Amino acid sequence: MLPRKIADSTVRRLAIYLRFLEEFEDQGRDTVSSEALAHRAGTTSAQVRKDLSFFGSFGKRGLGYDVHALGIRLREILGLGRRYRVLIVGAGRLAGALVQYAGFSARGFEVVAVVDRDPDKIGTAWGEIVIEGVAQLEEIVVREQVEIAILVTPADPAQGLVDRLVQAGVTAVLNFAPVQLHVPEGVDVKNVNLAVELETLSYALAHRVHA
């Protein structure tokens, strides 16, 4: 589990393979070929084998991969063998959707706190979680041993918030704010920008060969 530098595209595909492996497992299949995985994941069998080969050789020639064993290995590789404590910054609707999203907790991402700057929201409850004030950010990070922050705020306050998060000890951030965050070495940021996704679609529509 120590190869130097793995492409982000490879890591994303591994996460996708894992999803389908679990599906196969639920169906009681105990073996799967690179071809079958590739078809489900929308890639090629060579790509699947190459992706896996960076981490070892898990298959049996002539047979394929053991569904259960490969699942375990992928979870190990992806760091999903444990739970992660997540803080959500910003209590808008998207944050609400994330808190309730079953896909996160199923994978071990546990939302332990939500903060917002709106005094009207502070103190209200979302299920188990009571929304706290953004002033408590640092205190919460320490108290709840937060490792991952999800930033769901407007662009404006995002950089200041991430500075405070990093200062308090957070080293991984999933950023939904439409800004490029600047963080010190050793802190990982992944950006999700829903408007950009739609704009790549409108690009495709605009440049279609009109029949």
91, 113, 148, 161: which one binds its own copies (CB under 8 A): 148
Smaller CB distance to its own copies: residue 58 or 84?
84
Question: How far is it, in rounded angstroms, from Cα 73 to Cα 81?
Answer: 10
147, 165, 167, 184: which one binds its own copies (CB under 8 A): 147
Given the DSSP bridges, would you call strands 64-66 and 109-116 parallel, antiparallel or unpaired?
unpaired
Least distance from C-beta 37 to DNA, angstroms? 8
CA nearest to 37, candidates 46, 53, 27, 48: 48
Sequence-separated (6 or more) residues with CB below 8 Å from residue 109: 83, 84, 86, 148
Interface with its own copies by CB under 8 A: which range of 86-94, 113-121, 129-137, 158-166? 86-94
In single-letter form, the type of residue at position 208 comes to: R
Radius of gyration of the chain (CA): 20
Question: How far is it, in rounded angstroms, from Cα 116 to Cα 157?
Answer: 11
| Using rule CB under 8 A, residue 12 touches its own copies | yes
| Using rule CB under 7 A, residue 46 touches DNA | yes
The residues that touch its own copies, with contacts defined as CB under 8 A, are 1, 6, 8, 11-12, 14-16, 18-19, 40-42, 77-80, 84, 92-94, 96-98, 100-101, 103-104, 107-109, 147-148, 171-174, 178, 180, 186, 188, 190, 192-208, 211
